Amino acid sequence: MAVSTASKMFALVVFSVIAGVLFVLMRYDGSGSAAAEQGELITVEIPEGAAADQVGEILVDAGVLDSALTFQAVTRVDERASQIQPGTYELRAGMDTGEILDRLTESRAVPVFNLTIPEGLTVEQTLERIADAEDSPFDAEELREALAGVALPAWVPAELPDDAEPFEGLLSPNTYEFRADITAQDLLNELVSQTDSHLQTVGLNEDEMYDTLIIASLIEREVRVTDEQRTVSSVIHNRLAEDQRLQIDATVLYAKGEAGTRVLTSDTDVDSPWNTYENTGLPPTPIAAPGRAAIEAAADPADTEFMFYVVCDFDTGQHAFARNFDQHQQNQARYREIRDAQAGSYCDDAA
């Protein structure tokens, strides 16, 4: 059947209208957005597997666009909608839809680097770990300089020993993903903020937070078996309540500036406020950065009468706990046997 001239004209008009609408939509911007000023640079995270409609909502929530409908209408007929790449993007408020699709389909995501900070590191070890992370943009010296510009939480004492590291214990261990263009100071601020957040969420008064962080650091360095953390915490709290010296080996190692686990009797007389063999009470600062579990254990110790502990399994680091010194001496004698043998366990036969 022949198509009439009128039908052809009608089709041409309809096509022209659709094309015109699409052109307008492609050039429509979000300048009416109250969330961000026109041209403001905005960081947008597009998750893996996000559909075009979801991306439109993300752009509106971020303040790049004023309406998701425009973006969604265009992506119904634009093949680039199926080519949107996940990642972190720098966009500007008021960009038109065509520009946005150009950016989201050209894989111009801001590069990131992943960072894993294990529990129990000192500040210096943490800075080295950040500097050594794959694709890290920082070196340790740059991080050390940036740390001077980071604000300490209000609950950190204003007066510490002259040789104290004020950020000890504050650089929270965790696995992070950071944008490669983050500043060193912003990165370190995030680590400190994480520690502050952990302490805020365990129900402490502000005047309890620093001592809790110190206790948590002792637990972190002393305990290899996570299930023992609250029990070791109880020993620390019990000894503090009785005004007994904590006699924690990890404080001696910190005072000597040494790594490792073994402390000799001759080491325990080192002249340092961090040496809990020579000084009553807590050391003046944390000795390492504790994880969340250690912070929770410090804030909520188990209810025990234990006053002593010593390793009872050479391989796992499990401890034997004692209520009195006689029991502890028996356990110590057994510990020396497995220490000298570099193997063995007496946990089931502990006093």
pLDDT by residue, tens only, the chain of 351 residues: 445 555 545 444 444 444 444 444 444 444 434 445 677 778 899 998 899 899 999 999 999 998 888 888 888 888 888 888 888 888 888 888 888 988 888 755 578 889 999 999 999 999 999 999 999 999 999 999 999 999 999 999 999 999 999 999 999 999 998 888 899 999 999 999 999 999 999 989 999 999 999 999 999 999 999 999 999 999 999 999 999 999 999 999 999 987 766 787 888 989 999 999 999 999 999 999 999 999 999 999 999 999 999 999 999 999 999 999 999 999 999 999 999 999 999 999 998
Indicate if 78 and 132 belong to the same structural domain.
no
Instruction: Name the one residue in this structure whose structure tokens are 């004020």.
Output: 166
Indicate if 330 and 277 belong to the same structural domain.
yes
In a domain, 208, yes or no: no
In a domain, 1, yes or no: no
In a domain, 3, yes or no: no
- Which of 84, 105, 126 is where one domain is finished? 105
Indicate if 101 and 193 belong to the same structural domain.
no
DSSP state of 2: P
Rounded-to-integer distance, Cα 316 and Cα 331, Å: 16
Indicate if 164 and 196 belong to the same structural domain.
yes
Taking the model in full, what pTM does it have?
Answer: 0.72
Indicate if 135 and 231 belong to the same structural domain.
no
- Which of 49, 72, 105 is where one domain is finished? 105
Rounded-to-integer distance, Cα 285 and Cα 288, Å: 9
What b-and-e string marks burial along 263-273, b requiring 16 or more CB atoms within 10 Å of the CB?
beeebbebebb
Rounded-to-integer distance, Cα 263 and Cα 94, Å: 64
In a domain, 2, yes or no: no
Domain that holds residue 145: 112-200
In a domain, 212, yes or no: no
Total structural domains in the chain? 3
Partner residues linked to 177 by β-bridges: 114
- Which of 74, 105, 136 is where one domain is finished? 105
Rounded-to-integer distance, Cα 194 and Cα 167, Å: 13
Between helices 184-200 and 292-299, what is the axis angle to 10°?
Answer: 30
In a domain, 206, yes or no: no
In a domain, 207, yes or no: no
In a domain, 48, yes or no: yes
